[in-house]
Amino acid sequence: MFNRVKSISSWDEHSELHGMLSEARARLTEGSAVSGSHYALMHYLKNRYNVTANGREAAMSAADKMLMEFERESSRDGLSDDERRYLEME
């Protein structure tokens, strides 16, 4: 059976994934060879969105792509003032 990849469906999910991605990037920038934040991100992607990432770079890339897709879709649908401000903060 083919397991379809799910996409981000709310700004709350977007915020949660963005936070995890930011934490993983910070650990990479600090030079951490191994980081629990990368494993947490890979686990989150697999369990929540059915996205399998093989390694920290792949996990961060997948999360980045999902965030950008959600933002692009949301901008097409029309954004509330709060959502526009949220995107401008990034």
pTM of this prediction exceeds 0.85: no
pLDDT digits (tens, 9 = 90+) for 28-86: 888 776 678 989 999 999 999 999 999 889 999 999 999 999 988 887 666 666 766 67
Please state, in angstroms and rounded to a whole number, the distance separating the CA atoms of residues 80 and 18.
19
DSSP string, 24-77: HHHHHHTT-SS-HHHHHHHHHHHHHH----SSHHHHHHHHHHHHHHHHHHHHHH
